Amino acid sequence: MAMLSTSLSAAGSKSAATLYSPPNFSGLRRSSCPTLDNPSSNSLHLFDSQLRLPSLSARRPCRAVVAMAGTGKFFVGGNWKCNGTKESITKLVSDLNDAKLESDVDVVVAPPFVYIDQVKSSLTDKIEISAQNSWVSKGGAFTGEISVEQLKDIGAKWVILGHSERRHVIGEDDLFIGKKAAYALNEGLGVIACIGELLEDREAGKTFDVCFTQLKAYADAVPSWDNIVIAYEPVWAIGTGKVASPQQAQEVHAALRDWLKKNVSDEVASKTRIIYGGSVNGGNCAELAKQEDIDGFLVGGASLKGPEFATIVNSVTSKKVAA
């Protein structure tokens, strides 16, 4: 299908890039923040130091106070992907029900479609249900697809769209993903809108161009930003054990918020939650959560372990004022 084309047009990429013109940065520089220069030994697996990402440190200096730049509630989603059996999911749900979770966090889990009903009927109502994908329009003769209407009927409140595995394995392009997001929002589902660059994009210095192009596709299509959470997931960090350093993640999140401010509105930039995904776990979540533009996480493998997922949810406490 034409709508599933894997390539973006050159014109589309150019137009998105011209909507945001960051200052001339010299490259990724080490910050004077102690938490970035001297991360704890168990907190992060830093990515290859040869990678270069334009630095925002000249514009956004280190702060003594750790807080959220946005005004939205901390948000943590667990993407279970194509994992689990009835037995293992029963155990996972039991662990989540037993976990003590901070109350000031929106928590969502995304089981495989076939287990949504099982999870919905047994999971605490403190945690909402998300789907991992949805069709671009009303249901019908679309073999293998799941419609938004069906998801709502079974109790889902959210859907993950634009995940890199849908983009780069299944072949969904920006235009198609934007249309899917618009339809889901129009029908009353919240959207976890994923974006992120490939390793070759980052090495070529195209992180911002790629992320802005993907973000623009959502902006061009969606009717409102009221029920959207942006998930920045660098593809090179998904499932690899390599995690963006707090500085790397913060720089991209800050740039995304600036893009929203310049191209949508100040209000949307402030209210829209921008969460990080990419090998987030119980050991690195606290340092990442301290960054002011990181409003939560989209968690993969670690979300399949109830106690560890609870640790990630409770990393919201890292948003408190630093001594």
Catalytic residues: 163, 233
Strands 127-131, 296-299: pairing kind: unpaired
Contact 224, 307 (CB under 8 A): no
- Exposure class string for 174-203: b at 16+ Cβ within 10 A, else e: bbbbbbbbbbbbebebbbbbbbbbbbebbb
User: Which two tokens mark 243?
Assistant: 């995690």
Around Cβ 1, how many Cβ atoms within 10 Å?
6
Write phi, then psi, for 242 (nearest 5 degrees). -90, 130
Around Cβ 239, how many Cβ atoms within 10 Å?
13
Strands 105-110, 127-131: pairing kind: parallel
List all residues 6 or more positions away from 95 whose beta carbon is below 8 Å from its beta carbon.
Answer: 305, 306, 307, 310
| Torsion angle in degrees (nearest 10) through CA of 4, 18, 190, 133 | 20
The residue written with tokens 């990724």 in the block is 28
List all residues 6 or more positions away from 113 whose beta carbon is below 8 Å from its beta carbon.
Answer: 131, 132, 146
CA quadruple 166, 195, 270, 62: dihedral sign? positive
Residue 201 half-sphere exposure toward CB, CA atoms < 13 A: 16
User: Which two tokens mark 25?
Assistant: 């940065």
3-state secondary structure of 278: coil
Measured CA angle at 14 (ends 207, 291), to 5 deg:
30
